[in-house]
Amino acid sequence: MASDFPIYKTLTLEVIDNIAHITLSRPEQLNSMITEFWEELPACVSAIDAESAARVIVLSSSGKHFSAGMDLSVFKNMSASFNGEPARRAEASRRHILKLQDAFNALEECRIPVLAAVQGGAIGGAVDMLCACDCRYSTKDAYFCIKETSLGMTADVGTLQRLPHLMSQGVVRELAYTGRNMSADEALSHGFINQVFDDHDSMLKGVFKIAAHIAINSPMAVAGCKEMLNYARDNKVSESLNYMATWQSGMLQMPDVQEAMQAGQEKRHPVFEPLRKK
């Protein structure tokens, strides 16, 4: 299936057994996020979702570090745009930031779970990206940094909006105000990551085991879980319960339930239809 996708400059894609593996593939440059990355990542994720090519996405990287965040070339392009009539410059800047935000919104908005596997440093924009994933795992040498503050700017691609839903407000504010590193153990203790592994190989093995467990389940049920959890995060309990009832009245059908029950009785893995292509 991955052969049907284009060749990317900043990442690679492999799809096996209903698991799509996206790997950031610029290790010599610390997987920094150049202009092409901001276009390729959302295009890749959206294509996987639209084609119903997988039931889970594993997002990892190659090299010593997960990602150094925004590449300097992108900052230079932004700096060069600070000219001309102020209102029009500001309007163009706003549209540019919204486009960057959309790159990570794609992770949150796709119908399937995204599991991130982190080694080494996850800096600046990398934290924004991780916050948009469903689950995060790391090696024991990993660290996380809201670096933008140290660079004289406010993080603007999702960290400040999503991280307070994943960790306590006080810790998030400390990390944002100081720009200090948060170790893997600290991230685990605060619930930002699910599990810490000894090394990269054991991490990928563990994450793919979790992904395989997810992929066995009904893709409709899993998509419903993601939809409801995201909605509940952003809305009141009463509104979320009402949406849940409406969703279930249409999406809860018997074929997947019957197959799951029968597979359990026969002690085999269930077989479900994929989600419809978009």
How far apart (Å, rounded) are the C-alpha atoms in residues 195 and 208? 13
This model's pTM is above 0.75? yes
Mean pLDDT of 48-76: 93
For residue 183, the cross-strand partners are 143
pLDDT at 2: 52
Weakest-pLDDT range from 15-24, 98-107, 120-129, 250-259: 250-259
Which pLDDT band, with edges at 50, 70 and 90, does 4 fall under?
confident
pLDDT at 72: 83
Residue 80 has pLDDT above 70, yes or no: no
**pLDDT tens digits along 85-136:** 999 889 988 999 999 999 999 999 999 999 999 999 999 999 999 999 999 9
* Cβ proximity of 146 and 179 under 8 Å: yes
Count of residues making up the chain = 278
How far apart (Å, rounded) are the C-alpha atoms in residues 245 and 259? 23
Residue 3 has pLDDT above 60, yes or no: no
* Cβ proximity of 61 and 119 under 8 Å: yes
How far apart (Å, rounded) are the C-alpha atoms in residues 262 and 226? 25
Which amino acid type is present at position 120?
G
pLDDT at 73: 81
Residue 180 has pLDDT above 80, yes or no: yes
Query: Widest CA span of the chain, in angstroms?
Result: 70
In the structure encoding, which two tokens stand for residue 213, read together? 């467990």
Weakest-pLDDT range from 21-25, 81-85, 211-215: 81-85
Mean pLDDT of 186-205: 98
Per the model's pLDDT, the better-predicted residue between 88 and 49 turns out to be: 49
Which CA distances in Å does 117 have to 36, 104, 235, 241?
A: 22, 16, 29, 32
How many Cα atoms within 13 Å fall on the side-chain side of residue 236?
3
DSSP one-letter string for 136-188:
EEEETT-EEE-GGGGGTS---SSHHHHGGGTS-HHHHHHHHHH--EEEHHHHH
Residue 1 has pLDDT above 90, yes or no: no
Mean pLDDT of 174-184: 98
End-to-end CA distance of the chain: 16
- Angle at CA 114, nearest 5°, toward 226 and 158? 85
Question: Within its chain, how far is the Cα of 51 from the centroid?
Answer: 18
How far apart (Å, rounded) are the C-alpha atoms in residues 225 and 125? 27
pLDDT at 79: 65
How far apart (Å, rounded) are the C-alpha atoms in residues 85 and 99? 21
